[in-house]
Amino acid sequence: MTALNPTFAKLGVRDEIVRALSEDGKEHTFAIQELTLPLALKGDDLIGQARTGMGKTLAFGVPLLQKISTDTERPLTGAPRALVVVPTRELCLQVSSDLAAAGKYLTVGDRKLSVVSIYGGRAYEPQIEALRAGADVVVGTPGRLLDLTQQGHLQIGGISVLVLDEADEMLDLGFLPDIERILRQIPETRQSMLFSATMPDPIITLARSFMNQPTHIRAESPQSSAVHTTTDQFAYRAHALDKVELVSRVLQARNRGATMIFTRTKRTAQKVADELAERGFKVGAVHGDLNQGAREKALKAFRTGEIDVLVATDVAARGIDIDDVTHVINYQIPEDEQAYVHRIGRTGRAGKTGVAITLVDWDELARWELIDKALGLGHPDPAETYSSSPHLYEELDIPKDATGTVGPAKTPKTAKRPPRDSAEKQSRPRTRSRRRTRGGKPVTGHPDTEKAAANGKPATNSDTDAETAADGDKPARRRRRRRPRKAAAAAAAN
């Protein structure tokens, strides 16, 4: 970081927050933080626009923590004083973690300032208990926030600071009606901040409806590229049947670190993860078909380095904030240029370099041309490329002896385990010991047996004996089918 960027302390941030950030290696501000902090610390409403990975979380997190910890009009009592609304569960966990780390030295009486995350896919009870225990800052997704508010467990009538993070993504996911319902329950005297990588018209309209003369701050000039200039971008026209082979070579490029692979569908994400695992790569998957526990486990393994390849869909990948991602691979091209920006923003973060590779199938060429034109990438007609193409090895610095496998097959982090007792169920012989009863007594349908049952005598016909034998060591006798009485009588008359 250059000396041109001021420190957090120089911008007037509290000593407790500065100390926590310094311990995390964050002393100097990024561009979006340098521009927003002076206004946000004064309590002004603002709209922050910057590319993914430019430090938007601390741009609103630092003034949020300072505001609620020094507010004399609405002191901290355990009721929520700040609300951060995010589009996805993963982003909810990431923002909660960042805010908790930045505010770890802030205290309220004899307790620490508390940050609680509220999101779907998890049981309600632990989140309700956390709210009852005291929540100074609440970070949540719109659906679960609205549920707990309507149930009376979440009280947002005392909110002093409201933040909408990744607002463009919430628009894409259809959360705007839920957000408007939440806004109606929050006091009008509050500080509001909205952050987004892109700023479509509906977001601007929303901002004007709930914000008080906000200042619109862009971290770059309007002519700046929508993606990081430190990211080298490549586009190849690849055949669907050769994509896994091609990706296997890319994953063996020199100096490759943590890598994210994006797909458009959940099924493709799991399929790619399984095939790469069979080729020996340490891979995990994050997509909507997995429960929240499995997704968190895969993300944790990716952050800790237990796996170095993560296959994800667009929605599931929002909020994955890892600075050391060196490569991003678009296995399937995104829906539009905004999704492309968010995908590519996973690498080249915080001033580091990165590599972005997009594989374009023949039926995706038309959409890719639109994305390329909108962002000015300069790759409207990607070169036809296969896993054996020499230019692939040269451009991405792949060893010439790289093959489609790197070792024995591994189990992907998201593989479903078979039921614990499946082996027992397969080896256990099936037995049938059910009996027909009427009035609590056995009935077989045979006239003599029914008469015996009516007289209180035990049923002793061959059908009952056969079923009983099935439970013992002797083989069960074959059950004989009897003709109805009317048919028997007709046969006798003839």
Question: Could you report the per-residue pLDDT of 203-218, keeping only the tens digit for each?
Answer: 888 888 899 999 999 8
Higher pLDDT residue, 3 or 66?
A: 66
Q: Is 181 helix (H, G, I), strand (E, B) or coil?
A: helix
On whether both 187 and 269 belong to a single domain, the answer is no
On whether both 31 and 75 belong to a single domain, the answer is yes
On whether both 65 and 153 belong to a single domain, the answer is yes
On whether both 122 and 28 belong to a single domain, the answer is yes
Separation of alpha carbons 143 and 129, rounded Å: 18
Which candidate, 367, 325, 375, places its Cα nearest to that of 345? 325
On whether both 262 and 349 belong to a single domain, the answer is yes
Q: Measured over all CA atoms, what is the biggest interatomic distance in the chain, rounded to whole angstroms?
A: 114
pLDDT of residue 347: 84
On whether both 68 and 160 belong to a single domain, the answer is yes
Q: Which residue type occupies 341?
A: V
Residue 303 included in any domain: yes
On whether both 40 and 66 belong to a single domain, the answer is yes
Is residue 166 very low, low, confident or very high in pLDDT (cuts 50, 70, 90)?
A: confident
On whether both 171 and 244 belong to a single domain, the answer is no
Q: What residues contact 271, with CB distance under 8 A and at least 6 apart?
A: none
Residue 72 included in any domain: yes
Domain total of the chain: 2
Burial 289-327, CB ≥16 within 10 A → b, else e: ebeeebbbbbbebbbeeebbbbbbbbbbbbbbbbeebbb
Residue 260 included in any domain: yes
Strands 107-108 and 111-112: antiparallel
Higher pLDDT residue, 446 or 150?
A: 150
Examine the fold and report which residue of 173, 195, 218 is the final residue of a domain before the chain moves on: 218
On whether both 147 and 253 belong to a single domain, the answer is no
Residue 224 included in any domain: no
In this predicted structure, the answer to whether residue 416 has a pLDDT above a threshold of 70 is no
Task: Give me the domain span that covers residue 159.
Answer: 2-218
Examine the fold and report which residue of 164, 192, 218 is the final residue of a domain before the chain moves on: 218
Q: Which of 34-48, 194-208, 224-238 is predicted with the least confidence, judged by mean pLDDT?
A: 224-238
Q: Which of 30-34, 426-430, 442-446 is predicted with the least confidence, judged by mean pLDDT?
A: 426-430
Measured in degrees and rounded to the nearest 5, phi and psi for residue 354 equal -155, 170
In this predicted structure, the answer to whether residue 434 has a pLDDT above a threshold of 80 is no
pLDDT of residue 168: 84
**Residue 124 neighbours by CB distance under 10 Å:** 14
Is residue 473 very low, low, confident or very high in pLDDT (cuts 50, 70, 90)?
A: very low
On whether both 432 and 345 belong to a single domain, the answer is yes
Helices (H), 211-331: 243-250, 266-278, 292-304, 314-317
Q: What is the mean pLDDT of residues 95-121?
A: 92
On whether both 243 and 156 belong to a single domain, the answer is no
Is residue 169 very low, low, confident or very high in pLDDT (cuts 50, 70, 90)?
A: confident
pLDDT of residue 426: 46
On whether both 214 and 259 belong to a single domain, the answer is no
Residue 223 included in any domain: no
Check: CB of residue 387 under 8 Å from CB of residue 248.
yes
In this predicted structure, the answer to whether residue 494 has a pLDDT above a threshold of 70 is no
Residue 62: give its domain's CATH number.
Answer: 3.40.50.300
Q: What pTM was computed for the model?
A: 0.66
Examine the fold and report which residue of 196, 218, 240 is the final residue of a domain before the chain moves on: 218
